[in-house]
Structure 1
Amino acid sequence: MPLRTGSPLPELTGATDWRNGAVSRESLLGSPILIHFWSLSCYICKNNLPRLKEWKEMYGPQGLKVIAVHMPREEDETDVTKVEAALEQFSITDPCAIDNEHKLSDAFGNDQAWVPYYFLFDADGNLKSRGAGQAAADVLQGALARLFPEA
């Protein structure tokens, strides 16, 4: 079952690997958190990366932390070297969990294995908004504006 508004940030355990540094739930609390699930084969994920960069530039100075979770949709996407190459190609510098066993996906209730899938948590670790698929970025844009009204 997907997380509902107000649900606590799940533990970030179960990743098969991390790139750009590992994080824990506890290390993120105290700041708003945006977690985005993406996949190598997802063209929407790639198309939304410039928007994600804009959010980081706009809201990062106000404390937003961004965590990427690579969730493979196909067997060949479990190759960590391919994920590393994509991180470099698309300039993804945020901590990135490699979720080859879909344990993080399960913890977030992403039963449909949707990508992109965005989860926005407040500084207390409570879910404020989530969005999946083509319209996900639009959903998150409004939620970010409400969470950071001074921006």
Structure 2
Amino acid sequence: MTASSATASRPWLKPAVAAVALLGALGLAYATFASKTQAPAVTFITLDGHKVSTASLHGKVVMVNFWATSCATCVKEMPQMVDTYQQFKGQGLEFVAVAMKYDPPNYVLNYTQTRQLPFKVALDSSGEIAHAFGDVALTPTTFVIGKDGTILKRYVGEPQFDELHSLLKKALAAG
């Protein structure tokens, strides 16, 4: 019996195969988009020498912003990042600005002090943190991490701040 004669003798076969294929594709799509990526287990070393692990931030909404003092877009967006932090910190937002490994520590310290950055600033002198977050190479790159430790959004480049604020409101309100 050939494939065409099998289909001719069983007219329901083609639609059934198509339905199974469709269900399989839908299942794969659901699994792909429903799966949540956990933030990597890393420890940030802040400029003042404190250690902050992603595990210690569990239960909080966290923004991790990879930046560099030599990055024009990073410098341009930083006042809005400060405003965003100031707006949401009272609701439980944590913020860690991670300076890239190629950024001279004295530049980072000077920038942080002269701009009076109000959040945690960490150095990634080995590049391990950028690697753990998916080999971050472009700055700025910002991650929003939910209370359950999953990455809710990754922004490469300057985010649309209205969209970012909406996401933060939703994440902070979540149980």
User: TM-score w.r.t. structure 1 length?
Assistant: 0.80
Which residue matches 1:84? 109
**Letter in structure 1 aligned against 2:41:** E
Separation in structure 1 between the aligned mates of residue 101 and residue 163 of structure 2, nearest angstrom = 24
Q: 1:61 aligns with which of 77, 83, 90?
A: 90
**Is the partner of 2:89 in helix, strand or coil?**
helix
Per the alignment, do residues 72 and 139 of structure 1 end up closer, same or farther by CA in structure 2, a change over 3 Å counting?
farther
- Does 1:70 pair with 2:99? yes
Cα drift, residue 60 of structure 1: 0.8
Q: 1:23 aligns with which of 45, 48, 52?
A: 52
Cα drift, residue 90 of structure 1: 2.0
Q: 1:128 aligns with which of 126, 129, 152?
A: 152
Cα drift, residue 8 of structure 1: 1.0
Task: Provide the identity percentage.
Answer: 25
Select the structure that is richer in helix.
2
Q: Is the 8 A contact 1:130 1:136 kept in 2?
A: no
Q: 1:107 aligns with which of 132, 142, 151?
A: 132
Cα drift, residue 62 of structure 1: 0.6
Return structure 1 stretches of 4+ with deviation > 3 angstroms. 134-139
Question: Larger relative contact order (C-alpha < 8 A, sep ≥ 6)?
Answer: 1
Q: 2:142 aligns with which of 118, 128, 132?
A: 118
Unpaired runs of 5+ residues, structure 1, are none
Separation in structure 2 between the aligned mates of residue 135 and residue 67 of structure 1, nearest angstrom = 16
**Is the partner of 1:65 in helix, strand or coil?**
strand
Q: Is the 8 A contact 2:61 2:146 kept in 1?
A: yes
Cα drift, residue 23 of structure 1: 0.5
Q: Is the 8 A contact 1:131 1:137 kept in 2?
A: no
Separation in structure 1 between the aligned mates of residue 144 and residue 134 of structure 2, nearest angstrom = 14
- Does 1:12 pair with 2:42? yes
Separation in structure 1 between the aligned mates of residue 125 and residue 162 of structure 2, nearest angstrom = 28
Unpaired runs of 5+ residues, structure 2, are 1-32
Q: Is the 8 A contact 1:118 1:136 kept in 2?
A: no
Q: Deviations over 1:49-103 (max 9, x none)?
A: 1211221122111101001100044xxx3x3222111111222232222112211
**Is the partner of 1:19 in helix, strand or coil?**
coil
Select the structure of larger CA radius of gyration.
2
- Does 1:147 pair with 2:175? no
**Is the partner of 2:144 in helix, strand or coil?**
strand
